[in-house]
């Protein structure tokens, strides 16, 4: 090789070496300089935390100066405070899409000190002079909620207790604050479901029921409050879990956020999934632990249903209420409601005639009176599948009794809204069947008999995992029903805050200009 070629080869070698060095140096600088880098520092840290790299194999290079930050970025497995995490899954299978700060986010709640007649007074509690709330430090001092079917709509009771204890408890999502201007949401402690169940009938010479009287007084109270006037009630939270609760006040208070069982008896302009919360019923059968939950071969009944088959008279208090409304939309809504109830009544009857003679099917009329609750619980615990068929409303307590019994729910309710569906995938522990398919001869039997042991066991295992999310407890525990409801409210408040801030864009600017 000539001297000229040797010189050119060496020059090319040195040039390539220098270029590679400059390329590596520039890449490092892009990553490291916080204000001018192309790859964000946060992205680089996430790459390190997850032991991945755009160019390097895991563990090829260690960056000790990121160790403390990497620890802070890790979200502890088991946290349910992240709206994007998959709740109830096994350890470290959850999505780690939330930072530490969001995991510690508290919902700040201001609660009105309404007189006891609106809440614990309905339970017969009488405090001392000027005492608004019972002492919640001991279970023996807390007025018990009525048992039986009353319990299924007791959400209001558990949320109120949780707020009363929130300042002494370090767990839980909700924190009670004493200044309404610091609150994310303003809670109205009216036991509306209990008021309807216990005080909606006239007694003696009464011309107005206690239930209607309390609703009227509540409307007057709220409309006079500066907190309500400030945003038209949009940052208020009202529990109306019983379908007929708040019947005479719901239209006037419809701007508030409701906690409901479903939307079956509400016009869309009053209640909808965009602003309101769907909360679970409190199950009335006993909770089955994972250890005593029977497996596939130990459940001799294929499917179970016990309840009303022939629907009751469709005349209900709502007919009279809506007849008094001048709005045509309300009248049309009621006509639709009557058709809805008759439709679902017919489906229950058709399923009864299709299934009543099957040996491995329990489809019978039954009530929860007497020993009915215990028998229903035992029947569900001995069944592979439990039917949840819409009745007077799209939802029923039967779904949550099935979950507590670890009986795989079969949901036949096309318009049902389910609690916590933003974080729970019900298809992983429930079977959904369209009403039009369910009434086809042989369809339901073929479908459920076709689900073999392996697939059923997967649904059952997942069902046991998520069951604690539907348990109402006091004191509440992370991930139980009380905590999950507060988390659902917390998710909604972000959209409320967004709308509030947009509304204030020019209002505050114009106020500032007036001062100049």
Is 187:109 a contact under the CB 8 Å cutoff? Answer: yes
Phi, psi of 372 (to 5 degrees): -60, -35
Check whether residue 361 and residue 224 sit in a common domain. Answer: no
Check whether residue 448 and residue 482 sit in a common domain. Answer: no
Check whether residue 315 and residue 414 sit in a common domain. Answer: yes
Q: In this structure, is residue 512 part of a structural domain? A: no
Check whether residue 68 and residue 80 sit in a common domain. Answer: no
243 DSSP 8-state letter: T
Q: In this structure, is residue 371 part of a structural domain? A: yes
- Structure confidence at residue 399 (pLDDT): 97
- Structure confidence at residue 302 (pLDDT): 98
Q: In this structure, is residue 415 part of a structural domain? A: yes
Check whether residue 16 and residue 84 sit in a common domain. Answer: no
Distances (CA, A) of 261 to 280, 460, 493: 7, 24, 19
How many helices (H) and strands (E) are present in the chain, helices listed first? 16, 11
Q: In this structure, is residue 515 part of a structural domain? A: no
CB-based burial of residue 232 (10 Å sphere; 0-12 exposed, 13-18 middle, 19+ buried)? exposed
- Structure confidence at residue 17 (pLDDT): 79
Looking at the structure of the chain, the number of domains it has is: 4
Check whether residue 422 and residue 320 sit in a common domain. Answer: yes
| Residue ranges, the chain, pLDDT below 50 | 31-102, 313-342
- Structure confidence at residue 209 (pLDDT): 96
- Residue 55: CB atoms within 10 A of its CB come to 7
- Residue identified by tokens 């801030």 is 501
- Structure confidence at residue 1 (pLDDT): 55
CA pair distance 92, 98, nearest whole angstrom: 14
Instruction: Give the rounded distance of the alpha carbon of 478 from its chain centre.
Output: 14
Helix, strand, coil percentages for the chain (3-state, nearest 5): 45, 10, 45
Q: Which of 27, 56, 75 is the endpoint of a domain?
A: 75
Alpha helices in 87-232 (DSSP H): 100-103, 155-165, 192-199, 210-224, 226-231
- Structure confidence at residue 340 (pLDDT): 43
Check whether residue 255 and residue 383 sit in a common domain. Answer: no
The SS3 call for residue 504 is helix
Check whether residue 179 and residue 113 sit in a common domain. Answer: yes
Q: In this structure, is residue 511 part of a structural domain? A: no
Is 411:388 a contact under the CB 8 Å cutoff? Answer: yes
- Structure confidence at residue 20 (pLDDT): 79
Check whether residue 317 and residue 236 sit in a common domain. Answer: no
- Note the pTM of the prediction, 2 decimals: 0.75
Q: Which of 87, 105, 123 is the endpoint of a domain?
A: 105
Task: Classify strands 174-177 and 107-111 as parallel, antiparallel or unpaired.
Answer: parallel
Check whether residue 318 and residue 261 sit in a common domain. Answer: no
Q: Which domain holds residue 117?
A: 108-282+478-505
Q: In this structure, is residue 247 part of a structural domain? A: yes
Q: Which of 105, 125, 155 is the endpoint of a domain?
A: 105
Tell me, what CATH number does 301's domain have?
Answer: 3.40.50
- Residue identified by tokens 């880098």 is 37
Q: In this structure, is residue 388 part of a structural domain? A: yes
Check whether residue 355 and residue 483 sit in a common domain. Answer: no
Q: In this structure, is residue 440 part of a structural domain? A: yes
CA pair distance 358, 446, nearest whole angstrom: 12
- Residue identified by tokens 């010479």 is 205
Phi, psi of 69 (to 5 degrees): -65, -40
Check whether residue 80 and residue 69 sit in a common domain. Answer: no
CA pair distance 255, 234, nearest whole angstrom: 5
């Amino acid at each position: 090789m000539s001297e000229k070629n040797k010189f050119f080869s060496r020059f090319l070698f040195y040039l390539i070496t220098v270029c590679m060095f400059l390329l590596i140096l520039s890449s490092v600088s892009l990553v490291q300089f916080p204000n001018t880098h192309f790859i964000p520092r946060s992205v680089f840290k996430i790459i390190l935390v997850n032991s991945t790299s755009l160019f390097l194999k895991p563990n090829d290079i260690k960056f000790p100066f990121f160790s403390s930050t990497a620890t802070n970025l890790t979200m502890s497995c088991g946290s349910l405070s992240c709206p994007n995490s998959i709740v109830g899954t096994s350890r470290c299978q959850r999505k780690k899409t939330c930072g530490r700060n969001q995991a510690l986010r508290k919902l700040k709640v201001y609660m009105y000190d309404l007189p006891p007649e609106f809440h614990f007074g309905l339970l017969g509690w009488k405090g001392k002079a000027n005492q608004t709330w019972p002492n919640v430090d001991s279970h023996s001092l807390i007025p018990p909620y009525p048992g039986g079917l009353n319990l299924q709509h007791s959400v209001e009771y558990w949320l109120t207790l949780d707020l009363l204890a929130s300042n002494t408890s370090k767990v839980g999502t909700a924190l009670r604050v004493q200044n309404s201007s610091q609150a994310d949401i303003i809670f109205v402690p009216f036991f509306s479901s209990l008021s309807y169940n216990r005080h909606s009938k006239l007694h003696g010479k009464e011309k107005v029921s206690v239930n209607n009287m309390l609703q009227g007084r509540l409307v007057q109270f709220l409309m006079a409050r500066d907190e309500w006037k400030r945003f038209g009630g949009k940052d208020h939270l009202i529990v109306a879990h019983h379908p007929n609760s708040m019947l005479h006040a719901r239209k006037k208070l419809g701007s508030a956020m409701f906690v409901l069982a479903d939307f079956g008896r509400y016009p869309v302009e009053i209640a909808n999934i965009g602003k309101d919360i769907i909360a679970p019923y409190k199950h009335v059968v006993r909770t089955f632990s994972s250890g005593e939950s029977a497996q596939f071969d130990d459940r001799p009944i294929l499917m179970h249903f016990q309840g009303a088959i022939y629907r009751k008279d469709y005349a209900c208090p709502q007919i009279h209420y809506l007849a008094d409304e001048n709005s045509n939309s309300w009248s049309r809504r009621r006509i639709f409601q009557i058709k809805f109830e008759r439709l679902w009544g017919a489906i229950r009857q058709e399923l009864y005639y299709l299934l009543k003679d099957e040996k491995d099917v329990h489809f019978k009329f039954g009530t929860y009176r007497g020993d009915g609750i215990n028998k229903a619980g035992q029947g569900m615990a001995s069944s592979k599948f439990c039917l949840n068929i819409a009745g007077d409303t799209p939802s029923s307590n039967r779904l949550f009794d099935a979950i507590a019994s670890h009986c795989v729910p079969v949901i036949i309710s096309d318009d049902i809204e389910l609690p916590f569906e933003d974080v729970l995938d019900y298809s992983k522990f429930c079977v959904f069947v369209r009403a039009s398919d369910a009434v086809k001869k042989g369809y339901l039997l073929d479908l459920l008999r076709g689900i073999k042991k392996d697939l059923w066991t997967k649904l059952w295992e997942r069902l046991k995992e998520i069951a604690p999310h539907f348990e109402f407890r006091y004191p509440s525990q992370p991930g139980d029903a009380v905590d999950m409801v507060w988390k659902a409210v917390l998710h909604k408040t972000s959209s409320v805050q967004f709308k509030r801030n947009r509304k204030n864009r020019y209002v505050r600017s114009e106020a500032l200009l007036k001062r100049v």
